[in-house]
A and B are shown apart, each in its own frame.
Chain A
Amino acid sequence: MASKRYATVDKRICVACGACENICPLGAIKVHKGCFAKVAQDKCVGCGKCEKVCPANSITMESRVNI
């Protein structure tokens, strides 16, 4: 079952440091080609760990629209 929330990245302000990638327990967020982080929405469980460590405040948690 999909979680209620999931992480989204504002790729304009992401610095591609990879802090999120290293903390995510599920490997759901990865830095894409050294440019910005990308979330695999189907894998993300919305724990919010990545949001907490992101030094650029580029991660926002959002609600899933259709469960």
Chain B
Amino acid sequence: MRKGLPGKQYYNGKQGEHMKTKKKHWYDYLWIWSIVYFALGFFNILFAWLGMVDFLLPLILAAFGGNKFFCNHLCGRGQLYCKLGGDLKCSRNKPTPKWMASKWFRYGFLIFFLAMFGNMVFQTYLVASGSENLREAIKLFWTFRIPWGWTYSGSIFPDWVAQFSFGFYSLMLTSLLIGLIVMIFFKPRTWCAFCPMGTMTQAICKLRNRKAISDK
């Protein structure tokens, strides 16, 4: 909804049902959650675990519901990009480069992302098994290590819980930043074209609904 009265300027009143502005749902405000999540990580890194909801819920909905209700309505990140890039005009609004939305890039990025996720889980394992010490830092773009120690000063949980938090938060922040960069250069939701969660959930849906969609 860029400007003016959405829904009004297109109809001359004949079809009354179209006149009403879209109803707001509680989940239209989930972009706030997306900001809160990253803010919490500045205070206590253990909050990073909350991000698992954004990781598991889309997969659960896709696997058991056969839909992308998460992407379509619940994803705070998608909404945030929409707000920043659309409403606040922080996007050049240029078409996403073709290769960026292509199958090979989407699946390639998914595989890369899963590999990085696996690596993070492995690091967690190393800390849990005692062969590595907890590193109180986050890693951006899988390269730049940034000290993040003030967000953790021991807890009732074993060290690996914190190690996972640092790793997971790094992954979330890195992907948020990539998304913001492509938002500025291209369209607000360009990130969604190759978001690993989006690719995974779509793949699950296509597999689940292959009969229903093949005859069209």
Say if A and B assemble together: yes
- Which residues does A use to contact B, with CB under 8 Å? 13, 15-19, 21-23, 25-27, 31-36, 43, 45, 47, 49, 52-58
Cα distance A12–B105 when bound, in Å? 14
Q: Are A26 and B18 in contact (CB under 8 A)?
A: yes
Chain A residues, Cβ within 8 Å of B72: 16-18, 21-22, 31
**What CA separation (Å) do A57 and B102 show in the bound complex?**
10
Q: A35 with B213: in contact, given A16-B68, A18-B72, A22-B72 (CB under 8 Å)?
A: yes
Q: Which residues from A are CB-within-8-Å of B66? A: 33-34
Indicate if the CB atoms of A55 and B186 lie closer than 8 Å.
yes
Mark B residues whose CB is within 8 Å of A.
1-2, 6-7, 10-11, 18, 22, 62, 66-69, 71-73, 78, 82, 86, 93, 95-96, 98, 101-102, 106, 186-193, 195, 198-199, 201-202, 204-206, 209, 212-213
22 residue pairs bridging A and B, Cβ less than 8 Å apart: A13-B101, A15-B101, A15-B193, A16-B71, A17-B68, A18-B78, A25-B6, A25-B18, A26-B7, A31-B68, A33-B67, A34-B67, A34-B204, A35-B206, A35-B213, A49-B2, A53-B187, A53-B189, A55-B189, A55-B192, A56-B96, A58-B101
Given contacts A17-B72, A19-B78, A34-B205, is CB(A57)–CB(B213) below 8 Å? Answer: no
A54 nearest CB across to chain B (Å)? 7
Query: Once the chains bind, are A32 and B71 in contact (CB under 8 Å)?
Result: no
